Each structure stands twice: as C-alpha cells, then as structure tokens.
Amino acid sequence: MKRFLLIWCFPGLLTGILLGLIIGTMQDLPQITALEEYRPSALTRVFSSDGILLAQFYAENRMPVASDQIPDILKQALIATEDRNFYSHHGMDPKGILRAVVRNLQSGGYSEGASTLTQQLAKTLFLSPDKTLMRKIREAFLALQIERRYTKEEILTLYLNQIYLGSGSYGVEAATRRYFGKSVDDISLAEAALIAGLPKAPSRFSPRSSMERATGRRNTVLHQMHTTGIISSDQLKAALEEAVILTTGHAPSSRKAPWFIEQVRMELEEALTPDILYKSGLNVYTSLNSRVQDLAEKAVQTHMAALETRMLDQKITAFPQSAVLALDIHTGGVLAQVGGRNYAQSPFDRSTQARRQPGSAFKPLIFALAIEKGAEQDQNISDTPVVFPQSRGQNWIPQNFSRNFMGNISLRTSLALSRNIPPIRLTDQLGPENVVAFAKSLGIQSPLQANLSLALGTSEVTLEELTAAYAVFPAGGMHNQPWRIRKVEDASGRIIYTSPRKSSSVMHPESAAIITDMLQAVIAEGTGRRAKASDRALGGKTGTTDNFRDGLFIGFSPAMAIGVWTGCDRNESLGNMETGARTALPIWKDIMVETGPAARPEYFSIPAGTERRQMESGNMGLFRKQSR
C-alpha cells in the first residue's frame, strides 16, 4: 500500500515543485510591452588630470528603421551566423541547445552559447549578463512570451534596432552610419556581413578597435552564408576581396584628444561592458594633461605643414603624418597622445597601432644592455670597416650614414654621433638574441628579428613601446606600463575601475643613470643639438630610416618622456635629408620647452653607486664608483 501511494504521489509532488518554480520565476518577470519604450540613458563624462571635460560617452540615439528599410541580405547574414533555425523555433532552439552542450563538454568549459535571437533580445533589454541558471530560465520564459506576442519579422526588426554593435552604436542604422557613413539600406553584402558579425563580441570585432579581427569575423560570416546557400561562390569571392572602408566623418563627442579618448573608450568597453559604460552615468578621471596635449597637437600641425611644403618643393606629393606620445616618467601615465594630423580624416592611431622601423632611435637599447653588462661609457669600440659573412656566400658590409670611419671611439661618442658600425659590433658581441630579450624587458612587445641589422632599427615597433622603453632610463631602471585611466566613479561616487598599473625593475639604477647621461650627450654634443633648451636637463636620440621614410626623436626630461614619429602611411620618402633631427625633433622641442620644468626637481637622479669623472675628451661623464 505504501509503495502504491509513493508511486502515485511522487509524480504529483515533482509536478508541484516544477509548477511552483515556474510560478515563482514568472511572478516578477518584466512586461514585454516595454520593448517599444526602451531607451538608453545616463551619459558618462571623461576628464583630464587637470579637470578639463574631454568627452561624453552615451548610448547613441537610435535611428529606428522599419523592416522594409533593412536589406534582406543583412537579415539573412544575421540569421546565418546567430540563429539558423530562427523561423522554425518558438523562442528556444532544442537542437542548438544540444549542440552547445556537446561542444561545451568537448571543450571542458563554456565555449558556445545556445541563445536564439529572441533570447538575446530578452536578455539585452530585461536581464543581467550574468551566466546563471536562473537568468537562463527567465530568459527562456521571456523569449516564449515575445514569440507569442510578436511575429518573426517584428522580433527581427526589434532586435536589429536595439542590439549593441560596438563603438557606441545601438541598432543597425546607427552602426552603418558610424562605420560606413551610409544608411543601412545602402550597404553592400560585405558590409552587411561585417555588421552581422558584431553581436558576438561588439567591442572586440569593431573595425574601430581592430581591422584585422573585424575583417576575419566578416569573412567567417560570409563563408557561413555561402555554406547555407544564401550567396553564390562568385558573390563570396567578390565580398571577400572587398576592402573595409570606414567613414572618416564621425569623431568622438568631443574633438579634444580624440585618439586618447578612443583608447579610453575601448578599455572601458572591455573592462565594464558597454551597458555600464554608456548607460550608468560614470565619471572617468584620466592621466591626460590638457596643456601638454594642446601643445602636442599645435606642434604637429605647425611642423607638419612646414614639412609638407618642403616635400612639395622636392616634387613629393605624398601626405606626411605624425604621432606623439608623452608619458609620466615615474608612473607611466599617458600625458598626451596624438595619432595623426586629423582624426576626422584618418582615425587610425599611429602612436599605438602603427609599427614602423625606429632606425637609430633603437641604438640606445643596445648601448644600455652593454652598460648593464658592465661596460663604461668611455670604453673604446672600433668604428672601422667590417664584413659579416651571410648565407649563400654573400657578405654584409654595413656603412655609416656619413660614409666615413672614425677609428677607435668611445661608446659615448658613437651614440652621440649616431655611428652605425659600433652598435652593430656591440650587437655581435652581446648576441642579437640577448638584445631582443633585453628590449622585451623594456616593454617592446612587437616581434624583433634577432640579427645584426637590429642595431640599425630594422625591426618595427610602436611609438608607445619605444617611448616607454626610453622612460626606463630616467626612471632609475623601472619600467612602467603606460596607462590612461586614473579612476572611474559610478553615480554614487564609488570607484569601480582603475587602469592596471604594472611596474618592474629591469635595469640596475647605476646602469640606467649612465645611459641617461649618454643620451644627454646626444643633445649636448651630438645629433640632437637642436633639442637644447637653456640649461634644462634633457636626453634623447634621433632616428632616421632608409631613404628618409621615417623620422623620429625620442627623449625625456626628469619628469616626462616624449616620443615623436613622422612619416607617410604608404612608406614614401619624406624627402632628401629629411632626418629625424629635422622632422621630428622640432615637434618634440616645442612641447618640451613650452611645458617648462615640472614640479619635480629639474635634474636627473644620480645613484649613490655612481660618480662624475672627466673623460679624455674633456667632458664630464657618469661612471660606476671605483672600488678602493
């Protein structure tokens, strides 16, 4: 009898529990009629370190479009990549759920979701992004309600008008205007595929964030469309070959420091999620110094216009560009950032994204390693002809820029005069692989070729990497990773985010002080003489690449490091004898001189283990103290 009652009662009990769970879950579900009323709100304000309002971030005002204004090819692209069974399921896709479970089990983690477009719409508007079982259950119930109330075409139109698509764009009309400068009904197949690929990870796949990732994601969508029979092989081929052309007319909400602001925007989108960034009314306090930024922008405009005139005099019609990055020596905070001459015309950031050959501006890293290994700056090295055997019986015979030789000269003189042969010999003695390892310890993350031509700056790096590496020297051997966001406060004043601060000791303080002294000699005695500014303590190095394609000057005061690059985007020559000393150094000097001495003492630190001594040349130099 007991067994009989148990058999009959257990299903009823289980059913009651499930009904209770369903009722409890559905009791506080939001009303789906709010779909038509949803609007983003509460803008975020971004400030410089000296309190200047730089920009405002907000969820863009949507530009709702009717279903017949959205091209079928965009709808098909979205369905092919996000929800292939959209027209056959009722809000949930059992096959998709099973497929996701299998793949997640195979990967041993959460590698694939199973949300339909309807579920994504419910989550976007009503639920948190937390990956919890209760949230998934609520999402499923909401999806079923939406499917009962709206047609498939209405759901798809709501989704395409509401979904976040990166770079502050909500909805497909705002996104196509943001990226391509055109209405959604004017986009091509390739552009539709790019837009359809964004919902998976809007910040990561935005072409404003990474053109390489955006193009790769677009191509994945195109292949999926071909696999599902939406497009033909000829259409696939043509779309894959179509270049992504971004509009140049849309800048951030403020014209102030636009490249810096975009870096801040991307970092916060990744760290906080777009919902929080664009809707929560945050106050963002950054490292940027508005005065240094204004001086950098002015100097770039002035000297690039002069360079352009000189190039035209030489019948060179290429358009010269420039980039500037200024860092706080002691913290790594970015004080100024200029990624080009005009953000509206070219938003590409040449200060952080462009990899270019640094030329002779790389040489200080080699001399720094030699000093770190025990060399002294008055130590002689041969500046004489040398032959290095290469593969297939070939020889490499490097030359100095001046095409002459000076015989035995000191390390100090060879760096100050930017001789080529001595750093090549040093690289050979130290080992190219050791030079690469040392450069990476200074923060160079770009791939470097471990060969002797590394001494001539043939491996490409970013301006930010090189400037941060130079900052190690006056910072006493400390490498400070560049950062931009001092703190982010929510509407109640609570700090919810700061940029990661990474500092590490990568050189002995004595070695760092000696290479700093040697770089002061570049300005006092060598190729950087034009950088002299009264009695200020300054150090730096010029850089010029073959055929005058790039001109650089990287230098520092005791408080600030500034890197300047000049060149053309298509690698054309800047003109005969347009060296870094002529193109980049004047920009650097305008900024450095106008900022004047900082609050910190205007002299470089001299560690207790060093002393000043007179060299054979008669100049005073910094050396390690001799043991007595």
> According to the 3-state scheme, what is the secondary structure of 68-101?
HHCCHHHHHHHHHHHCCCCCCCCCCCHHHHHHHH
Query: Which residues are bridge partners to 550 per DSSP?
Result: 567
Determine the Cα–Cα distance for residues 393 and 395; give it in Å rounded to an integer.
7
Q: Domains plus CATH for the chain? A: 62-248 (1.10.3810.10), 290-624 (3.40.710.10)
Residue type at 82 in one-letter notation: E
Walk across the sheet containing 550-556 and list its strands: 334-338, 320-328, 560-568, 550-556, 539-544
Contact 566, 318 (CB under 8 A): no
Other beta carbons within 10 Å of 244: 14
In this prediction, residue 105 carries a pLDDT of: 55
Contact 185, 148 (CB under 8 A): no
Given 82, 139, 262, 297, the catalytic residue: 82
Exposure string of 439-469, with b = 16+ CB inside 10 Å and e = fewer, is bbbbbbeeebeebbebbbbbbbbbbbbbbbb
In this prediction, residue 19 carries a pLDDT of: 45
- Helix, strand, or coil (residue 205): helix
Determine the Cα–Cα distance for residues 311 and 290; give it in Å rounded to an integer.
31
User: How far out from the chain centre does Cα 60 lie?
Assistant: 23
In this prediction, residue 60 carries a pLDDT of: 55
Q: Which residue has the tokens 């055997």?
A: 389
In DSSP notation, 247-266 reads -SS---SS-SSHHHHHHHHH
154 among known catalytic residues: no
In this prediction, residue 519 carries a pLDDT of: 97
Residue ranges for the chain with pLDDT beneath 70: 1-42, 59-62, 93-114, 125-136, 249-255, 534, 597-601, 627-628
In DSSP notation, 267-303 reads HHHHHH-HHHHHHS--EEEES--HHHHHHHHHHHHHH
- Helix, strand, or coil (residue 132): coil
Contact 258, 252 (CB under 8 A): yes
In this prediction, residue 27 carries a pLDDT of: 47
Determine the Cα–Cα distance for residues 23 and 150; give it in Å rounded to an integer.
23
What angle do helix axes 233-241 and 211-227 make, rounded to 10 degrees?
180
Q: Which residue has the tokens 């005969």?
A: 576
Determine the Cα–Cα distance for residues 281 and 270; give it in Å rounded to an integer.
17
Summarize pLDDT for 528-557 with one digit per residue, the tens: 999 887 678 999 999 999 999 999 999 999
Determine the Cα–Cα distance for residues 531 and 107; give it in Å rounded to an integer.
57
Summarize pLDDT for 16-27 with one digit per residue, the tens: 544 444 444 444
Other beta carbons within 10 Å of 390: 11
Determine the Cα–Cα distance for residues 514 and 412; give it in Å rounded to an integer.
10
- The angle subtended at Cα 417 by Cα 614 and Cα 450, nearest 5°, is 110
Tokens for 213, please give them. Answer: 């990732």
User: If 0-12 CB within 10 Å is exposed, 13-18 middle and 19+ buried, where does residue 392 land?
Assistant: exposed
Query: In this structure, what is the dihedral angle of CA atoms 508, 512, 514, 519, given to the nearest 10 degrees?
Result: 160
In this prediction, residue 250 carries a pLDDT of: 45
Exposure string of 158-183, with b = 16+ CB inside 10 Å and e = fewer, is bbbbbbbbbbbbbbbbbbbbbbbeee
360 among known catalytic residues: yes
Given 206, 209, 360, 414, the catalytic residue: 360
Query: Which residues are bridge partners to 44 per DSSP?
Result: 57
Determine the Cα–Cα distance for residues 141 and 119; give it in Å rounded to an integer.
9
Phi, psi of 145 (to 5 degrees): -65, -45
Q: What is the DSSP letter of 408?
A: E
What angle do helix axes 189-196 and 211-227 make, rounded to 10 degrees?
100
176: nearest Cα among 83, 101, 278, 69: 69
